[in-house]
Amino acid sequence: MKRILIAGLCLAMLAGCAPAASDSGPASAPPAAQEPIIEAQPQTEAWPLTGLALDEGTEQAPRPFAVMIDNTRRAYPQWGIGKADAMVEAVTEGGVTRLMCLYSRVDDMETRVGPVRSARDVFLQLAMPLNAVPVHIGSSSFANNFLNYYSWTTIDGLVLGTSCFDLDRSRMLTRDADGNRTGSEHSWYTHAAALSQAMETRGIQPDGGMIPLLDFAADAAVSGDQTAASVQMSYSYETPAGFTYDAGQGKYLKTSFDGAPHVDANDNTQLAFDNLLLLQVDTRLKPDGVHTDFELTQGEGWWICGGKLQPVRWEKGDPEQPLCLFGEDGKALSVKAGKTYIGLLSGTDGESLTVDGVALLGGASADASSASAATA
């Protein structure tokens, strides 16, 4: 299989993926802070978020950005999300989800990106091996403790204020069908110029080693014959999601509330992905009884690509460790180079997943057993 990642990175990735043995608005700007220490391998030939070859003239990929995006109904339409090279979605609290949009370059956020919201530690754990620069406005107490423990310098609106984030006042004053105002918490955004300035202000280095998001390969393909042209899911009673395979593009087009296309408000294009990774994660409530605690150690799930579905097993472990995938044979799994959507399925009330009419979660089906996730 033709690899896109360089040999050194492949070795580092495979070594890390060996099977296991058994909020309100921003405030004012501060002085520069110490850069976090995150050990990672240098990367020189491929974009770590996609596995695609670097652009001509680009010798080394810069550190990616991990932007926390509001995903409630009031947050729509969202800006700049279509430019993300990868997206992670997971329930935060109250059955609503948040998005972590991962961008390979600051220039990918030339126009508006947002609405930007607070950080959660589950997303930070996935961003850490990428050596990403988190972009957020505030954080839960658990995420804040996580950042402090690792001395991880971020671009935080509660620290940088309006030097990096702008408020869309017209959106803030709009009302929904029930007469409720959108509010400022759903109206903050940022952009490339502000982020570049924030990097300098905070003393954040733009370069540095990183581990790829996944092990990518140009010709990676799903094994088996389980079709996956239509994916309908719900993270809870509050947050649906769906994907329809466009064979012409070879991509999955995302839908959201009420089955409407999930679009980027900057250009009205629908979100499209080469890979869908839907991963089951053991969860429990954190000590506050509100926030969800994700156990990012190992589990089962599904890789969906090219109109087909394959059960997989995943492993991660410590925050510094990358996300690793394995097939039913126990061997490390490569996914297709391109854009990836990662959905963390947490067992929240109302959660469901149906692929081409076969209920994989949240419902019984005569065919579901043949497409169930691999046993660890």
Residue 246 buriedness (CB in 10 A; 0-12 / 13-18 / 19+): middle
From CA 4, how far away is CA 23, in angstroms rounded?
41
The pLDDT tens digits along the chain (376 residues) read 433 333 344 444 444 575 544 344 554 444 444 454 445 454 458 999 999 999 988 888 999 999 999 999 999 999 999 999 999 999 998 889 999 999 999 999 999 999 999 999 999 999 999 999 999 999 999 999 999 999 999 999 999 999 999 999 999 998 877 788 889 999 999 999 999 999 999 999 999 888 999 999 999 999 999 999 999 999 999 999 999 999 999 999 999 999 999 999 999 999 999 999 999 999 998 888 888 899 999 999 999 999 999 999 999 999 999 999 999 999 999 999 999 999 999 888 999 999 999 999 985 443 433 333 333 3
- Which pLDDT does position 18 carry in this prediction? 56
Residue 43 backbone zone (phi > 0: left; psi -120 to 50: alpha; other: beta) = beta
Topology of the domain comprising 216-371: YerB-like fold (3.50.90)
Which of 221, 245, 218 lies closest to 231, judged by CA?
245
Q: Which CATH class is domain 59-202?
A: alpha beta
pLDDT at 30: 43
Q: Report d(CA 202, CA 33) in Å as an integer.
A: 5
pLDDT at 309: 98
The per-residue pLDDT for 26 is: 53
Nearest to 81 by CA among 96, 68, 72: 68
Where along the chain do the CATH 3.50.90.10 domains lie? 59-202, 216-371
Residue pair 281/295 in contact by the 8 Å Cβ criterion: yes
Q: CA-to-CA distance for 326 and 320, rounded, in angstroms?
A: 19
Rounded distance between C-alpha atoms, residue 284 and residue 91, angstroms: 12
Q: Which two structure tokens, joined as six digits, stand for 310?
A: 């394959």
The per-residue pLDDT for 27 is 46
Beta bridge partners, 241, equal: 233
DSSP 373: P
